[in-house]
Chain A
């Protein structure tokens, strides 16, 4: 420490050498490790850069953009997707602005992802629409920041944001499907992955919380029912449930209960997420000191208010990292729907590299899909870190 410090004062190169010797070459075995790992990383990076910028032929992506992003979604109906997307951008910006000042690291990532979308995917009119959405998000972020020292505006905006996120799913479904819109069977591409993930989170999260509360309740019937739902659902893999929903259930259900396969897939994904969320939240509930609910009851609060204002917020706060990793898992699990024959993003990519002119271009297509899912996961994990920091103030 002191050695590195003094060197930093003497010169920059000295400081760099100090850092190197402290962090990478502090002992012979560490030096060997550094060299081995370093050369391995170098070759991987070299191969990746060489492939991405020189060997790869990305025309498979630019030609099949539509297939990957929208699947078999009909031509001429794209406009229906924009308003929900703008809502997401606006809500995202506003939420972030209300939560915290953007860190430089987040800005860099955001810039990279935006540059990627605008430069690579969005040409012409689509580029303008995306650019508009981006500007909208930035403006919403500014508004959120402005509210920082205006409590009344702040609480009003906060309420608006919550309402906004709540109406997002119904709004999206109405926009896409209602008024002579697009049948669920034609929803596809990344749009389908996003919809499945949003429904899975939007329905699965509250469902899971309710199941956890029911399982922790003192009413035997409630407890038994919720335990049964949780354990049965968790007893099978998601893929098995998807197959059951597609091929087994329809045989047992009466005609009036037959729904579109995508709707039943959404049902399964919500239930599945709900079961896992329930167990995570149950852990959180158990971690809350019993003195908390005693103190709240002693003030005369009824059980509903004690749960809503005292126990649940602390329980959920304790398990945010686990909840977010469940959400990230769900986001990636949405690709499992290809096995049922839906053309989601991965299905679109597969369709693309089975086209005769693109045979042998799996690498490009799959790498691109990986990038899409990775940026989604990264966004969620960054957001959760923000969240934890912001919520950390009141922690024990």
Chain B
């Protein structure tokens, strides 16, 4: 997709223009501009502390930006609470620490939001939850509680929970970093399947083999800025920036 005309012909579903985020005096994002197009898979990578999590959290306003503009699916992110809840229900988010609700069964973890936010009737929500659990490969765990599952299973429940809201975009923040090595693949497989089904995805990950397979585009973050952007081809065979080269040589 190096042809600029064909990119511009598609619809950007996320538009960020010169986005800045600060924590007190410290500026974590120093002006990020990026676009994500429908059905695109964008992988974000870069050193620890470079602002990857902050960026992805800013897109559904878990952090507030203090400069620039963010437009998601045609709605601008601002103080308007109605906008915010609308945008959040269209964006699924998967966290490094899973963040399943420990006091609710797997089934309830998945059905709660569709019932309360979308007003889906209970039975329909549960049927849909079972379909999703089958899709992520653990239908037999529906009645268990999160702590009774392995890390890989928990993260797959978290993905199912996010998908239950029928989001247009899925955000992943290092979804496999808290997992034991033998469980990483089962989660990546689910994400790969999701990418092939045409979901728009933004993924922070350092699983470069997986990333190369599914990504349409890479963003390399360093010190709160997008230092380099490109297709897997460009990034892996011909990175332009020295910092990208150095970082890739460290993690590959």
Contacts and interface: CB of A to CB of B under 8 A. Distances in A.
Q: Do A and B bind each other?
A: yes
Interface of A: 289, 291-292, 294-302, 305, 309-310, 313-314, 317, 391, 393-396
B119 to A, nearest CB: 12
Contacts of B21: none
B131 interface: no
A155 B74 CA distance: 42
Given A294-B62, A396-B147, A299 B101 contact: no
B102 A396 contact: yes
Given A291-B95, A295-B93, A295-B95, A394 B102 contact: yes
Contacts of B95: 291, 294-295
Most chain A beta carbons < 10 A, residue from B62, B86, B102, B112: B102
Given A314-B103, A317-B103, A396-B102, A298 B88 contact: yes
Contacts of B88: 297-300
B37 interface: no
A299 B165 contact: yes
A394 B117 contact: no
Contacts of B215: none
Interface of B: 60, 62, 81, 85-86, 88-93, 95, 97, 99-105, 112-113, 116-117, 145-147, 158, 161-162, 165
Contacts of B146: 394
Nearest to A295: B99
Contacts of A299: 88-89, 112-113, 117, 161-162, 165
Nearest 5 CB-CB pairs, A to B? Answer: A300-B89, A295-B99, A299-B113, A298-B93, A394-B145
Contacts of A289: 99
Contact of A291 (B97, B112, B116, B117): B97
Contacts, number: 73
Contacts of A313: 103
A302 B85 CA distance: 7
Contacts of B112: 299, 301, 309
Contacts of B147: 394-396
B101 A296 contact: yes
Given A300-B113, A313-B103, A394-B103, 16 more contacts: A289-B99, A296-B113, A298-B62, A299-B89, A299-B117, A300-B165, A301-B112, A301-B116, A302-B81, A305-B117, A310-B101, A314-B103, A317-B103, A394-B145, A394-B146, A395-B102
